[in-house]
Structure 1
């Protein structure tokens, strides 16, 4: 799932125009993305970058087979997302620690699970898909280590709402591959047929290794952001997401098909770098193409 338009941009200080956000969506689709987190329906005073959520939705291209996700934190946000008529999926968030859950959405950890279940039901009642992310599943910026058993129990409770999937998010980039493998397997076992999605930040350079560990452990969907942009306004020290280009390169080299076009992702990276007026964190976009394209001799 391409999360650049939302998680990639939400923490940027310079406001990105609605048209540039829509161009990012169009370029992601052209590169093969078929599921895109396009915006969040949150308080614009807290996350100014997402204040144009309705305008972004109004301009989204209609492309067969492409699903648009809107992040929502409460019923009011869910109602706004549904009212656009352009969102196919509501993404709810609950948080694995009380202090971060209170900072992020004014609820305790268990209260955030109940709220997420309510948002999944709201989506289903509106004929949409509903899914949930467990934030800070691998570590909290305020409380430190998070008990794996607590995350598993959260996932088990979320599964009662029949979401299309449950995501485990390393919000501040502290996970390691062994931890990822353990937790993905434990959650998968606890929630049965409900797929597991993963969301990693590359704060400490372990993001790509964590993606591979998650895929090997059975994760079905990987979040990634074009260029490796990202961060959370309420999580001190959170750095960028794993880059879409880097994830696709690794998976393709390992023989895992993604349906994505790496060359077009690199082109989109170069375009986005001009918008952001800086080189983006992605590594693959800065490296020479490999393997080199085969040169054809002219007649």
Structure 2
């Protein structure tokens, strides 16, 4: 598989794809995950920048093309670590490593923005920044740095609100940006119930999260995963506020559609059924 990764890297047509098509089997078209994907992505990282894992100070690099290769190597390394996080038990360590990589990528972007291939326009630059901040917010949430996660997610949301006026095509990021901000608020509230014993929980987080998730533009009925996950988060927020009737009204049609399309054994169906049980226990 290492040789396959090297051959894919050498193929100019395959290199047009972000991961050189190494994450899809050429015979059965099945996606590759876990350690197999990790090994091939790590090979691609080393092919772009052999010194990626050993360089002491990347700021000393002045060659533009070398900085571009460094950026791509960091992105492959981040994606490789994401694969190991699926199967590894060392989740927190992996999260911290990925967080460090994202800040290195941002630093390289800042130094090399004019010549960076992924920032060919202001739209592309903004899109990449928002995707990076979305991922950083997710990682901060996973390591339970809830206030930092809210900061990054709120900043990303505010940037989105301003930029969408000039670049309507950024609307493809709405679900991720808005959903992650609402999720960070809900998770911070949930964490406060466990840690801030004796203090009033930050109910204003739930109110803000509910307002975000009631955005009519998030009601994507065509994409069953987006529809189901939005309904899941909104119901969790409503249940935390004891708004059981509203949660039931939102969950019932969503659960019916998810069961019909994805089946009873799908993970999303299982989660929605658990939420349904929580709601029923209060009637």
| TM-score normalised to structure 2 length | 0.32
**Greater C-alpha radius of gyration:** 2
More strand per residue: 1 or 2?
A: 1
More helix per residue: 1 or 2?
A: 2
| TM-score normalised to structure 1 length | 0.31
Instruction: Determine which structure has greater relative contact order: mean sequence separation of CA pairs < 8 Å that are 6+ residues apart, divided by chain length.
Output: 1
